[in-house]
Amino acid sequence: MEALVCRKLGDPTVGVYDEKSPIEFSKNEKIPELNSPTAVRVRVKATSLNYANYLQILGKYQEKPPLPFIPGSDYSGIVDAVGPNVSNFRVGDTVCSFAALGSFAQFIVADQSDLFPVPKGCDLVAAGALPVAFGTSHVALVHRAQLSSGQVLVVLGAAGGVGLAAVQIGKVLGATVIAVARGAEKVKFLKSLGVDHVVDLSNENVITSVKEFLKARKLKGVDVLYDPVGGKLTKESMKLLNWGAQILVIGFASGEVPVIPANIALVKNWTVHGLYWGSYKIHRPGVLEDSIRELLSWMLKGLITIHISHTYGLSEANLAFSAIKDRKAIGKVMIAFDDVRSISPKL
């Protein structure tokens, strides 16, 4: 089968046929076999690129698998084979899931308990982008912050994978949503989603812009800060927070881990939530499963839409990583296994 194999650590934006590339486009990988009576083999239709996949190949992610490995986490596809004790799925069913590794390949094997049926009427390629980005933002906003109608939510990195998911979930929950992003194209897109206010970091200061908006709406401040960026932007955004606000620490796309002063958290009664979504699989699997089921039902009802700005074939994976590295993605970047050219961007 075809697969992307990471043979050494390094920058995956180098062309896959270049000898400097850490990733190899292989056509000779062994198709994985069913490894238990409840195992299911899925023919992958699409798999999404997450910032974490990029960091992992660079060797900068918290989880460092031994080399060589097939990267990739969330995916969708069609059931290709089932073990003798599989009761939930049949060959031909459409499913989505996520794995620690291995989805940048034509086939992947998972236990039936790790798979979610993709309802008829849901776009199967889009479903491959749902688990990590929307799952993270849903667990953060619904389970951890318990964001409610009328609260003010600020989303940093709002046009990125997890950011755009947080923006949409915030709107579903009835919050006033302020999106922070850089560049006219991202701002235009966020406005088209009906976001209450968008800050364009290419020509605006986050503090001034948000304060003006809050004043115009007669709102006191921000109740929940969703932060996948870190660095200076976190420091500035903290100046906008209400008494009793919540900070969701999601990631550090800026490359800088921010300092959240404990003395200010004490005086202002802030709650700081560190969130590592993947670890829910081990510690609170029920929360994670309920979350994905609810998201799939929202997707079917049209409450959320998965926006895919770039789609590539496996042999063009370096271009997919470049879209993430160069901050070109609006929503998700996908690798699709067939009819790539027929998958039009949803922008």
Ligand X SMILES: NC(=O)c1ccc[n+]([C@@H]2O[C@H](COP(=O)([O-])OP(=O)(O)OC[C@H]3O[C@@H](n4cnc5c(N)ncnc54)[C@H](OP(=O)(O)O)[C@@H]3O)[C@@H](O)[C@H]2O)c1
User: Candidates 4-12, 156-164, 190-198, 211-219 — which segment interacts with ligand X by CB under 6 A?
Assistant: 156-164
User: Candidates 95-103, 153-161, 168-176, 263-271 — which segment interacts with ligand X by CB under 6 A?
Assistant: 153-161
Q: Decide: is 250 part of the binding site for ligand X (CB under 6 A).
A: yes
Q: Looking at beta carbons only, is 34 or 55 nearer to ligand X?
A: 55
Q: Decide: is 288 part of the binding site for ligand X (CB under 6 A).
A: no
Please give the Cα distance from 112 to 235 (Å, whole number): 43
Among 41, 171, 186, 307, interactor with ligand X by CB under 6 A = 186
Q: Looking at beta carbons only, is 104 or 277 nearer to ligand X?
A: 277
Cα 41 to chain centroid distance, Å, stands at 24
- Interface positions, 320-339, toward ligand X (CB under 6 A): 324, 327, 329
Closest separation in Å from C-beta 331 to ligand X: 8
SS (H, E, C) the chain: CCEEEECCCCCCCCCCCCCCCCEEEECCCCCCCCCCCCEEEEEEEEEEECHHHHHHHHCCCCCCCCCCECCCCEEEEEEEEECCCCCCCCCCCEEEEECCCCCCECEEEEEHHHCEECCCCCCHHHHCCHHHHHHHHHHHHHHHCCCCCCCEEEECCCCCHHHHHHHHHHHHCCCEEEEEECCHHHHHHHHHCCCCEEEECCCCCHHHHHHHHHHHCCCCCEEEEEECCCHHHHHHHHHHEEEEEEEEECCCCCCCCCCCCHHHHHHCCCEEEECCHHHHHHHCHHHHHHHHHHHHHHHHHCCCCCCEEEEECHHHHHHHHHHHHCCCCCCEEEEECCCHHHCCCCC
Q: Looking at beta carbons only, is 80 or 227 nearer to ligand X?
A: 227
Closest separation in Å from C-beta 97 to ligand X: 16
- Interface positions, 252-271, toward ligand X (CB under 6 A): 252-255
Closest separation in Å from C-beta 200 to ligand X: 9
303-309-312-317 Cα dihedral, nearest 10 degrees: -110
Q: Decide: is 309 part of the binding site for ligand X (CB under 6 A).
A: no
Among 134, 277, 312, 337, interactor with ligand X by CB under 6 A = 277
Q: Decide: is 228 part of the binding site for ligand X (CB under 6 A).
A: yes
Determine the size of the site formed for ligand X (CB under 6 A).
30
Q: Looking at beta carbons only, is 257 or 267 nearer to ligand X?
A: 257
Question: Contact, 287 vs 278, CB < 8 A?
Answer: no
Closest separation in Å from C-beta 157 to ligand X: 3
Q: Looking at beta carbons only, is 138 or 186 nearer to ligand X?
A: 186
Write the interaction track for ligand X spanning residues 122-151; mark x where CB under 6 A is met and - where it is not.
----------x---x---------------
Q: Decide: is 189 part of the binding site for ligand X (CB under 6 A).
A: no
Closest separation in Å from C-beta 56 to ligand X: 10
C-alpha to C-alpha distances, 182 to 162, 243, 279, 306, 328, nearest whole angstrom:
15, 28, 30, 20, 10
Among 160, 240, 245, 288, interactor with ligand X by CB under 6 A = 160
- Interface positions, 18-77, toward ligand X (CB under 6 A): 50-52
Q: Decide: is 163 part of the binding site for ligand X (CB under 6 A).
A: yes
Q: Which residues bind ligand X (CB under 6 A)?
A: 50-52, 132, 136, 157, 159-163, 181-182, 186, 201, 228-229, 250-255, 275-278, 324, 327, 329
